[in-house]
Amino acid sequence: MIRVRIGQRWGMLGRNAMQIEAIRRPFTVAEYDRMVEVGILGREDRVELIEGEILEMSPIGNRHVTCVDRVAALLLPPLLGKSIVRVQGPVTLGDYSKPQPDLILLRYRPDYYAPAEAVTRDALLVIEVSDSSIRYDRGPKLRVYARQRVHEVWILDLMTDTLVVFRDPEHGAYQTQLSLQPGESVAPLAFPDLVLSVSSLLNLDHSI
């Protein structure tokens, strides 16, 4: 029996087996999905699978939520029919990671990925909104994106009001890093004509 700790609760996987109190081995995406299916992990569990570990996600505050809403509002109209804007939903990256970024621009599919989950090649841009989670987002999570060769990652750092852009994944790391401030602009590599204000992305410009 493998036990997974989520907050103060313990979930159980498997049956008719000896209980193991201390075990460290990576969970696969298939095992993680099975935990969701059988109810070991529920909607109230804000978790994601990162390199085989089931990790709790940080609580989100009001500015985090409003920033996600603003970015979604900026992206949805111009990308209608060109890309799927997924808000706080999962993407499967290899066999051992299934993160839930704040937003993902996915390759457009008319079926909206109903027959099969979105995977690495489908992720055109990943956007993370970071406050207290900045070390995690720029550490373990960013390494997963780089190792799986996600084309582009944006981290909206609400602690410093900075947009950090990561591009060109090679050898497990991003070779290009740009730090953009309010007043500057940026466009996704996949949609170079979609020029966005950094101030608007950070929800600092309420006139738009």
Is 29 contained in some domain?
Answer: yes
Is 56 contained in some domain?
Answer: no
Is 52 contained in some domain?
Answer: no
Query: Are 128 and 193 in the same domain?
Result: yes
- The reported pLDDT for the residue numbered 23 is 57
How close are the terminal C-alpha atoms of the chain, in Å? 53
CB-based contacts of 69: which residues, under 8 Å, 6+ apart?
none
Is this model's pTM higher than 0.75 or not? Answer: yes
- 61's torsion region: left (phi>0), alpha (psi -120 to 50) or beta? beta
- The reported pLDDT for the residue numbered 1 is 35
Query: Are 106 and 27 in the same domain?
Result: no
Tokens representing 90 are 């999962």
- The reported pLDDT for the residue numbered 196 is 98
Low-confidence ranges of the chain (pLDDT < 50): 1-3, 5-10, 12-13, 15-21
Query: Are 188 and 131 in the same domain?
Result: yes
Helical (H) or strand (E) element with 186: strand 185-186
DSSP state of 97: B
Query: Are 25 and 70 in the same domain?
Result: no
Query: Are 11 and 114 in the same domain?
Result: no
Query: Are 37 and 87 in the same domain?
Result: no
CB 101 within 8 A of CB 186: no
Query: Are 67 and 36 in the same domain?
Result: no
Query: Are 131 and 182 in the same domain?
Result: yes
Query: Are 125 and 163 in the same domain?
Result: yes
Range of the domain at 90: 62-201
- Check which CATH number belongs to the domain holding 148 and give it: 3.90.1570.10
Query: Are 27 and 93 in the same domain?
Result: no
Query: Are 18 and 112 in the same domain?
Result: no
Q: Which of 151, 154, 155 lies closest to 134, judged by CA?
A: 155
Query: Are 28 and 67 in the same domain?
Result: no
CB 23 within 8 A of CB 52: no
Integer Cα distance of 64 and 70 in angstroms = 10
Is 145 contained in some domain?
Answer: yes
Number of folded domains that form the chain: 2
47-50 and 9-13: which strand pairing?
Answer: unpaired
Q: Which amino acid is at 113?
A: Y
Is 19 contained in some domain?
Answer: yes
Convert the pLDDT of each residue in 151-196 to its tens digit: 999 999 999 999 999 999 999 999 999 999 999 999 999 999 999 9
